Structure 1
Amino acid sequence: MSDTKTVRVRVTGRVQGVSFRWWTRREALGLGLTGWVRNEEDGSVRALLHGAQDVVHQMLDRLRHGPPGARVDDVTVEEEGGGEVPAGFEILR
């Protein structure tokens, strides 16, 4: 069994107004991840992803492409330690 991993992600580009949050939730749930996703005032999207290390990496690869209509310019990933993770996967804001 893989070790679990939690990361905070910031995605920039044309990522708002293209159903990025809904797509992220669907992809994350399909992979069995927990966490959340939200739009930021600066036009970026932030997410917290928690799950098996290899599955988190799969989701990061998917975020680098995004849904149809999105244009991802950059994905910044920060390791997250401790802290509580939601039981499901939520869309915030």
Structure 2
Amino acid sequence: MPETKRYKITCVGLVQGIGYRWFVQEAAQSAGISGSVRNLSNGAVEVEAQGSAKEIDTFILQLKTGHPRARVEKIELLELPPQNATAGFEIIF
């Protein structure tokens, strides 16, 4: 069984006001990632994501390049301890 990884991912750039959180939720569900996404007051988007290393790598690539109107200038990663029994992916308002 693959090792579970969990990250706080901060996406910086043109990522608010374009449907990016909905895109992130769809990408997470497609990749088998659990967690959440929310806008930050500084214009960035914060994602908490948990899955296998391969799922997380695929997901991060989608965050960088997958939304046609986003301009992701930087992605910051902070590894967190995995949580037990997380399921689903939600948008936090």
Structures share fold, TM-score greater than 0.5: yes
Cα distance, 1:53–1:82 mapped onto 2, change above 3 Å? closer
Please, what is the CA RMSD of the aligned residues? 1.4
SS at match of 1:54: helix
Contact (CA 8 Å) 2:50, 2:82: kept in 1 or not? no
Aligned to 1:68: 68
Contact (CA 8 Å) 2:5, 2:82: kept in 1 or not? no
Work out the CA distance in 2 between the residues paired with 1:85 and 1:17: 32
Aligned to 2:4: 4
Aligned to 1:26: 26
Q: Per-residue deviation at 1:66? A: 4.0
Aligned to 2:13: 13
- Alignment: residue pair count: 93
The one-letter code matched in structure 2 to 1:3 is E
Task: Give percent identity, aligned residues only.
Answer: 32
Cα distance, 1:78–1:63 mapped onto 2, change above 3 Å? same
Contact (CA 8 Å) 1:20, 1:66: kept in 2 or not? no
> Residues 48-63 of structure 1: matches in 2 within 5 Å?
48-63=48-63
Work out the CA distance in 2 between the residues paired with 1:66 and 1:72: 10
